[in-house]
Amino acid sequence: MDSTTIGIIANPLSGKDVRRLLVAAGTSTLEDKISVVRRIAIGAREVGVDRLLLLPDPHRIGPQALERLDGIVGEAAPIEQAHNETDTECTAAWMADQQCGAVAVLGGDGTSRVVTRAWSDAPLLPISTGTNNAFPIWIEATVAGAVLGLVATGAVPIDEVAEPAKVVRIEIEGETDDLALIDALHTDEDMLGFRGLFDPRHMRTAVLTRAEPAAIGISSIAGLLDPCPPSADRGVHIRFGAGLPDPPLEVRAPTSPGRYVPVPVEGINRLELGERVEITGPGLLSFDGDRRRRLAPGQQAWLRVERDGPRVLDPSRVMAHAAASGHYLVS
């Protein structure tokens, strides 16, 4: 890795999802993102980073953030912009080719998912600015920059402060494989790409890498029944009970910010790593909250949880290591 380089992928559309108009979720403005990128750069510069790789975007988030900031140079990915998630995917692949030491992703679960598709073992710090965030974390941006820089420069060994994340691997009959970081959900909907809220009446089954009772969305539904933390070497399979006259379980869960709904459940069980769940179409497959793939009638898909995703940095462990080594002492 280049010991003086980090990357930042700041999704200009995260925090502006149409779903936010339907629920009590906050927003993330361009000014917010510019401020976050600038503080990351300052924190990283403090520990020796002098080159910052950036996602190009029409709002120029990166260049605005770095204005009049000495000691660190920004470089946007040399890609032909499509102004969709392809830009993120191409930028992540370029950062990997550039041997970027660590990368921050400003966005929700979906943004981190796209980065992972292009750079499967990225040294990653996902920072929350999306709608239903289960994968990114909340962290002050100045500290986030320090975390990235300490790992990128080798001051803190990545093997001591990061673990590979679990992912849901998806095989689809006759099509290319896919993945999800938190959940892969099968519904009987037919509107591919629709950004509206999920209705429990249309949910059929889901496979999750984590089920957290303190989360929002599909993860919270499963988490309120059988919690599964990111550290557990297993996954969760939940079968929804829509249409059953008397479902065995019903849980009232926060499926979106500010929104609780009753969700009927037929059953829930634990999955060993690598254990496959078979799904048969028709319907849609949604990954981390986004409706992505259509299954034709009779078409099959197989879902399994593996621990072979990006290496997610643990900020507390990184900073504790830096403190123990006296990295910030002035002498």
Digit-coded pLDDT (tens) for 296-331: 999 999 999 999 999 999 999 999 999 999 999 987
Domains of the chain by start residue, with CATH: 5-165+310-324 (3.40.50), 167-306 (2.60.200.30)
Tokens of 194: 């629709």
Bigger pLDDT: 115 vs 243: 115
Q: What is the pLDDT of residues 247-294, one digit of tens each?
A: 999 999 999 888 999 999 999 999 999 999 999 999 999 999 999 999
Query: What mean pLDDT do residues 226-242 have?
Result: 97
Task: Give yes or no for residue 101 having a pLDDT over 60.
Answer: yes
Q: What is the pLDDT of residue 27?
A: 66
Q: What is the mean pLDDT of residues 91-98?
A: 97
Please state, rounded to an integer, the average pLDDT across all residues of the chain.
Answer: 92
125: pLDDT strictly greater than 90: yes
What pLDDT, on the 0 to 100 scale, is given for residue 1?
A: 45
- pLDDT-wise least confident of 9-18, 47-56, 147-156, 194-203: 9-18
Tens of pLDDT, residue by residue over 36-83, are 999 999 999 999 999 999 999 999 999 999 999 999 999 999 999 999
List CB contacts of 137: < 8 A, sequence separation 6 or more. 125, 126, 127, 128, 315
The confidence band for 25, taking pLDDT boundaries of 50, 70 and 90, is low
